[in-house]
Amino acid sequence: MTDYYRNKVHYKELIATFDDILIQPGFTNFEPNEVDISTHLGSHKLNIPIVSAAMDTVTEEEMAIKMALLGGLGVLHRNCTYERQLEMVRIVKRARSFVIDDVATITPNEPIATAKYMMENYNISGIVVVDEDKKVCGIFTKRDIPFSDNDIKNGKIKNYMTKGVISIEPGASRQKALKILFESRKEKLPIIDKSGYLKGLITKKDLAPEFPLASMDNEGHLICALALSPKYPESTQAQEMLKEIDKYVDIFFIDVADFYKTADINGTNKLMDLLESNFVLGNIGTYEAAEHIITKCDFNEDKFIGLKVGMGSGSICTTSIQTGVGAPTLFATAQVADAIADYGSNISLIADGGFKNPGDLPKSLTVGADLIMSGHFFAGSTESPGYVDTIQGRKVKVYRGMGSKEARTVGYVSDRYTESSRMLPEGVSDYIPFVGDIDGVLLTLKEGLLNGMIYAGAKRITEMKKAKIGVVSYVGQRESRPHDLLSRY
């Protein structure tokens, strides 16, 4: 056992948290613009090593889309039906791509009301019209919807659609697509083969290089991640729904408070056999748990791409208080990083929860993390679910732990914690300050991470893991904060 990371935080003496340590300054022999904060989660590249948590007050489709566009990743929560999960993953996958494969279609004789419903339900602005032979015969967009409610109710698509469809052939370049869209002043370009069959759709917004750091799959779609229960569904209907969801998901995040259990491990193995996507497993908090998972569980090596660590650290989590058991994120990261290094595994390590300041990000990377996951940083943003409220003149949003009574009452995440103890909440629900768009939040986190790496003398995340740290005394912690100021007396 190397104890490389664990010795950094005096493992045998202290179960350390972020405030307990500081990174020691290092020698910097590069320019600030040379720092690279990109990372990998399996085969997926992320230009920002930041993930928004799978919580029902943090990540739904709007957050997941924005996080991916800005270079990170948003993990959709599972505190809802399979139908709602399918809706969310569809929207994320269709949000940005060079070519949309799963194109919404409608027949000419369908009522306009049906098209209007599809546009609202799928969050799209246009539908390709196909005849009974499945050949393209028109296109219907929001601009074609009549103003009269009677026309919407009784009118047919064929009477309002655009019949002369401007299209492009399969395999055409991005440059050619842009040229056709510009010359025709259209926003949507169906891909139609020589026989008239629809092969895809290109939209103007997806061709524009508006988000150069976006997290994309090989086909140009946004990377989509979804939380998943480790409990294997026994009904055929549920299994089929999961298979349908699987078509749109790149990474499933197993979502339980403590994954180091036989039932969860066995259920996950069965899920890996059922589904095609990659898996991140968690949460765990110790070297022994990581060692067991890596060496004794026979998980599919091609699908098992990451471990998520930390138990009881979140600002809305009370597991450690309610049960007396926990693994603060910094401690858990150091523990699991050692196991990954000892057994030569190439899986990624995600430090989950407990982050309060931008400086906590470089600290987590220094003890072995490849990425960080947070709900606290993003719950108060414009893109999180819920509405902005005002309390005592301050704008706020609701933020709740998935172990809170309010979240568990919904019923879909009861298996995230001990199912037989539903009367014992392991989280709280409260308000958090409204912080605006996540663009600003991510910018602050990125700058904290970049400056931390510069001061530590690390050009890349892999080099950050070689930085030295030290345990800080209570007086040292006080000195690290603003002090001896008039307003502080």
Bridging pattern class, strands 278-284 and 304-309: parallel
Residue 409: φ, ψ to 5°: -65, -30
User: How far apart, in whole angstroms, are the C-alpha atoms of residue 50 and residue 59?
Assistant: 13
Q: What is the DSSP letter of 233?
A: P
Q: Which two structure tokens, joined as six digits, stand for 43?
A: 């085969």
Catalytic residue annotation: 317, 416
Burial profile 95-131: b = 16 or more Cβ within 10 angstroms, e = fewer: bbbbbbeebbbbebebbbeebbebbeeeebebbbbbe
Q: Which two structure tokens, joined as six digits, stand for 136?
A: 């393209």
Burial class (CB in 10 A: 0-12, 13-18, 19+), 252: buried
User: How far apart, in whole angstroms, are the C-alpha atoms of residue 350 and residue 126?
Assistant: 39
* R_g of the chain computed on alpha carbons: 25
Q: How far apart are the first and last CA of the chain?
A: 48
The answer to whether 246 touches 215, Cβ cutoff 8 Å, is: no
